[in-house]
Structure 1
Amino acid sequence: MQPSLRQDPPPGLRILVADTLPQQALDQLEQRGHDCVVDASLGKSDLIGSIPGFDVLVVRSTKVTEQALEAADRLALVIRAGAGTNTIDTAAAAARGVLVANVPGRNSAAVAELTMGLLLAVDRRIADNVADLRAGAWRKKTYGKATGLLGSTMAIIGLGSIGFEVAARAAAFGIAVQALDKPRGSTATTRIAELGIALVPSLEQLVRSSDIVSLHAPSTSHTHDLVDREFLGWMRHGAILLNTSRGDLVDETALLESLEAGAVRAGLDVYRDEPAGGNGAWESPLARHPGVVGTHHIGASTVQAQVATAAGVVEIVDAFTQGAVRNCVNLEPSRLGAVTLTVRHLDRPGVLARLLDLLRTAGLNVENMENRVFRGGQAAVASMDVAGAVPPSLVEEMAAIPEVLGVSATPLAGRS
């Protein structure tokens, strides 16, 4: 009997899912040969003892600390099953060569829907209406005094995928939408024109000229405490603040002062000190304030959004197994180095090793490298961005390698 030539498929990845993920996505990952372990009870401290032995970590709200990354012995990829990565120590991951990826845009419609729901609830005092009816009180005279949204103006701070979804829904309500005027790509510029979004030159002017301010910015050092006393002082009397993005965008003490003064109203889905788990006791003066309509950080928590986000997780894992990085947030966004070396060479074993050895001897580090094979498989071209000046003698040494067909050194744009 002839021996079988069939080879078993390479072993898959070990994936730790430290939150919940739809079963459909787990099935797809396991069908691809990956070993998935799901433990939604893991907190940031538990993760330290659980992460060894895994190649990939998938999280939603679970915090990934430097200590957890230190405990990982083979971790290569952390996936945030959502857009924001503020719960992950991306700098510590970068220092350890661990990729951090996210799944942006898949939950945009869900967050936009909740944003509009909060706006309606604040304007029409829906929560108070419901509470009184359930308590057996009929108060039509009290609640029949809403301002209404038609003809009002909404400022969207953070005009990304969620911001655009909110803008589209607000426009359908007859709300004029405006945003901060700043440099944007062609796709965003086209979308702004399609939705008729007005652009305002300064944040102060944007806030002062709006009846509704909706926050959709990421959590960064620049957006921390964005909504402070000065910002709240710019808001029109009785204006509505909506926050379905991140709790630390708002100075909650300052917001409480404005609420107490009756200066503003608020619809909030996120808070600075919100509990990490799904259930538990929690006391928040802000969430309890009668001028606030609050929800439990559920902006992305629809079945539609979770299925779409989980599909994005699978796509990232698929790309990773094929040597590609999708939606990575902790790689340098642009090419590094001072000079690009382009080396055409015969596609033979050891050629790249000899080139890299010459660079090592010259004390030049390769910041970025790609090697592509020509059709037919006889020759290839390597492109290497290196840090530092490349002397002509090095180019000559590389060109002298028998398998090398040609070498050129070109200053990297903007770094010559």
Structure 2
Amino acid sequence: MPAPKLSVVVTRRLPEPVESRMDELFDVERRETDEPMTREELIAAMQHADVLVPTITDRIDAELIAAAGPRLRLIANYGAGVDHIDIPAARGRGILVSNTPGVVTEDTADMTMALILAVTRRIPEGLALMQSGDWQGWSPNALLGGRIGGRRLGILGMGRIGQAVARRARAFGMQIHYHNRRRLRHEVEAAHGATFWESLDQMIARMDVISINCPHTPSTYHLLNARRLKMMKPTAVVVNTSRGEVIDENALTRALRAGEIAGAGLDVFEGRHQINPRLRALPNVVLLPHMGSATVEARVEMGEKVIVNIRTFADGHRPPDLVVLSMI
């Protein structure tokens, strides 16, 4: 007699190929709509599921984990970032946590370059002018932006995504600089033509573009704060496709409004989907709705990684993408 299927609760609608494959393998409970679960619904799900599959819109804190039922043994996160899950609390209850690393590297790096170009070349302003019907024709001084070739790009976080950004930016003729917890090996630096800065303050003061590509951890919270924003050149721009909490968003808004920095391109926000209206009103800011991983290929591959993690766990083995405390 075959073993019963694991009870798996999925908190959001996933791409159809992923849902179909999960239905074949597990006893799946999912949402009928794509609205996030309420806190009460999450508690109910965690009390009867063997596996929970949350996304970044679900805050799985210590209180929720304490209320989990005895069957819950794996939180198979749909996404690479796990700052919305209290990992120590989960491990304290004997609950494993897995994620989906590496899948969105190339897509997020593409979006980073798109934002750099959009901000420096004022693409949204041009688009708005065309859509308004007010364009009166070409003019020598209209919508002048800046050439990115030759500019200094400072990458904050030189992991998979940071290095993918460096490859693209170098092809555009940018000079690559970076700050990281650990300096890369010499051969990796040489491959990217990258210059390491041990001092983040010194790097920020000299860059034309700052790209945020580090995860959100207690040590990176507001890493780009008011003091460091004041160090930036008034012609510099900042781009963030990582986590909104890495930048002090109120300080960034003040700096942009005061003209202390030239512009910003943001795909993530400190308030998640609640955007500061003062930030939204600025003409020198490009805002996107967390589109960094929004390709069909990436979202399906994320689901495939979730399935592999659950199946490996079901077979009594360590999930290949297990999150350990030393990683956060």
User: With structure 2 as the length reference, what TM-score do the two structures score?
Assistant: 0.90
Deviations 1:7-56 (A, max 9, x none): x2211211111023222223333333x11111243133421123222111
Residue 36 in structure 1 maps to residue 28 in structure 2: yes
Q: Indicate how the Cα distance of structure 1 residues 152 and 332 shifts in structure 2: closer, same or farther if over 3 A, else same.
A: closer
CA–CA distance in structure 2, aligned partners of residues 290 and 275 of structure 1: 20
Matching residue's letter, 1:267: G
CA–CA distance in structure 1, aligned partners of residues 14 and 253 of structure 2: 36
Q: Secondary structure at the match of 1:213?
A: strand
Deviations 1:216-265 (A, max 9, x none): 11111111111112111221121010011111111122112211121211
Q: CA deviation at 1:185?
A: 6.6
**Which of the pair has the greater relative contact order for Cα pairs under 8 Å at 6+ separation?**
2
Q: Indicate how the Cα distance of structure 1 residues 223 and 332 shifts in structure 2: closer, same or farther if over 3 A, else same.
A: closer
Per the alignment, residue 302 of structure 2 pairs with 309
Deviations 1:40-75 (A, max 9, x none): 431334211232221111111222122322332111
CA–CA distance in structure 2, aligned partners of residues 19 and 28 of structure 1: 16
Per the alignment, residue 267 of structure 1 pairs with 265
Per the alignment, residue 320 of structure 2 pairs with 326
Q: Secondary structure at the match of 2:182?
A: coil
Per the alignment, residue 204 of structure 1 pairs with 201
Q: CA deviation at 1:120?
A: 0.8
Per the alignment, residue 381 of structure 1 pairs with none
Q: Secondary structure at the match of 1:52?
A: helix
Matches of residues 272-311 of structure 1 in structure 2 within 5 Å? 272-275=270-273, 284-311=277-304
Q: Indicate how the Cα distance of structure 1 residues 44 and 216 shifts in structure 2: closer, same or farther if over 3 A, else same.
A: farther
Residue 248 in structure 1 maps to residue 245 in structure 2: yes
CA–CA distance in structure 1, aligned partners of residues 162 and 323 of structure 2: 20
CA–CA distance in structure 2, aligned partners of residues 254 and 10 of structure 1: 55
Residue 168 in structure 1 maps to residue 167 in structure 2: yes
The answer on whether the counterparts of 1:129 and 1:143 sit within 8 Å (CA) in structure 2 is: no
Report the count of equivalent residues. 318
User: With structure 1 as the length reference, what TM-score do the two structures score?
Assistant: 0.72
Per the alignment, residue 354 of structure 1 pairs with none
The answer on whether the counterparts of 1:125 and 1:143 sit within 8 Å (CA) in structure 2 is: no
Q: Secondary structure at the match of 1:293?
A: strand
CA–CA distance in structure 2, aligned partners of residues 219 and 107 of structure 1: 16
Per the alignment, residue 66 of structure 2 pairs with 70
Q: Secondary structure at the match of 1:119?
A: helix
Q: CA deviation at 1:204?
A: 1.5
CA–CA distance in structure 2, aligned partners of residues 181 and 98 of structure 1: 31
Q: Indicate how the Cα distance of structure 1 residues 184 and 36 shifts in structure 2: closer, same or farther if over 3 A, else same.
A: farther
Residue 51 in structure 1 maps to residue 46 in structure 2: yes
Identity, in percent, stands at 33
Matching residue's letter, 1:192: E
5+ unaligned residues in a row in structure 2: which ranges? none
Deviations 1:147-168 (A, max 9, x none): 1101111011011111111111
Runs of 4+ deviating beyond 6 Å: none
The answer on whether the counterparts of 1:219 and 1:248 sit within 8 Å (CA) in structure 2 is: yes
Deviations 1:80-100 (A, max 9, x none): 211111111222212211111
5+ unaligned residues in a row in structure 1: which ranges? 1-7, 277-281, 334-416
Matching residue's letter, 2:41: D
Highest CA radius of gyration, 1 or 2? 1
Q: Secondary structure at the match of 2:76?
A: strand
Q: Secondary structure at the match of 2:48?
A: coil
Matching residue's letter, 2:215: P
Per the alignment, residue 374 of structure 1 pairs with none
Q: Indicate how the Cα distance of structure 1 residues 253 and 144 shifts in structure 2: closer, same or farther if over 3 A, else same.
A: closer
CA–CA distance in structure 2, aligned partners of residues 92 and 231 of structure 1: 33
Deviations 1:90-148 (A, max 9, x none): 22212211111111110111111111111111011111111111111126435442111
Q: Indicate how the Cα distance of structure 1 residues 192 and 319 shifts in structure 2: closer, same or farther if over 3 A, else same.
A: farther
